[in-house]
Amino acid sequence: MMALVSLVAWLLLGGCGSVYGQLLEEDCGVASVMQAMVAGGEDAALGTTPWMAHLYANGQFVCGGSLINHRFVLTAAHCIQADSPIAVRLGEYDTRTVEDCRQGECAPPPTDHAVVDVYRHAFYTSVEYYDIALLKMQQSVAYTANIRPICILLDTTVQQRMDSLREYTLTGWGLMWGGQRASVLQTVNLTQIDRYTCARHGFRIDHTHICAGDFRRHACVGDSGGPLGATVLYDGQPRYIQFGIVSFGRKPCNGVSVFTNVLAYTPWIQRVLQVTQS
């Protein structure tokens, strides 16, 4: 993840209660600390992203992800390797420390969770399309101050409003400007690029993608699978809603990034959850 400076994006979706009941998890997208301004490409404030999932295999970091309910984590399909069983760490912030503290305030230690089932989209064959997967954890997760779900909108009619959104926020442990992987969770704001302009950059995209970023602010290696979202005024309360999943971009990391459009796959997410409830 690389950037210079940015501001938090705000999006208004209807009036009070206008889309209530259209969230996957009603108690979502609210952090113990609300961050009104971020410095792109710098450390996220402790407690502002309790939905972030740190995915690892054989003890090594693999990808980011997002907690969407008590049992499931959303990530990119290309993060899943058949020969490397994946696990989930929730509540992670600084990968170098057991206890994360800032300005005298400390968060509970992160928790590790085994994955019992992996649901990669059946049509996924390469990173360009259907790059979405769900991980089912062995045990249901209790919500705490530093472990909470991100919001997933089930009302796909907001797609047109989403297309007009200019700013998103991305968080992850990807590569930074010096080429080193971030140990502390990073945050950056990205400007949305319309699909026509994105296609001119050489990307094959359609309505199932989101384009965002520029040559100074974009996703990078290690950010894959992580959430792209925005703070939304929902039922009178600011909530963080996920709109994209980090999918692919230029190599080396320099320019526009492409994200899986979560709204295009909410029916698939609902189907997976419905047939796996147990």
209 catalytic residue (yes or no): no
As to burial, measured by CB atoms within 10 angstroms (0-12 exposed, 13-18 middle, 19+ buried), residue 151 is: buried
- 54, 66, 78, 223: which is the annotated catalytic residue? 78
Cβ–Cβ < 8 Å for 131, 124: yes
Query: Taking the CA atoms of the chain, what radius of gyration do you get in angstroms?
Result: 17
Question: For residues 43 and 48, what is the distance between their CA atoms, to the nearest angstrom?
Answer: 11
CA 52 to chain centre: 7
At residue 264's C-alpha, the angle toward residues 209 and 10, to 5°, is: 75
224 catalytic residue (yes or no): yes
- 6, 66, 113, 131: which is the annotated catalytic residue? 131
DSSP state, 110?
Answer: P
Question: For residues 199 and 42, what is the distance between their CA atoms, to the nearest angstrom?
Answer: 29
Structure tokens at 126: 């390469």
- 6, 224, 247, 257: which is the annotated catalytic residue? 224
121 catalytic residue (yes or no): no
Please report which residue ranges of the chain form alpha helices under DSSP H.
159-163, 195-200, 266-275
Question: For residues 57 and 75, what is the distance between their CA atoms, to the nearest angstrom?
Answer: 14
Question: For residues 17 and 255, what is the distance between their CA atoms, to the nearest angstrom?
Answer: 38
| DSSP secondary structure, 111-149, as one string | EEEEEEEEEE-TT--STTS---EEEEESSPPPPBTTB-P
Task: Just list the catalytic residues.
Answer: 78, 131, 224
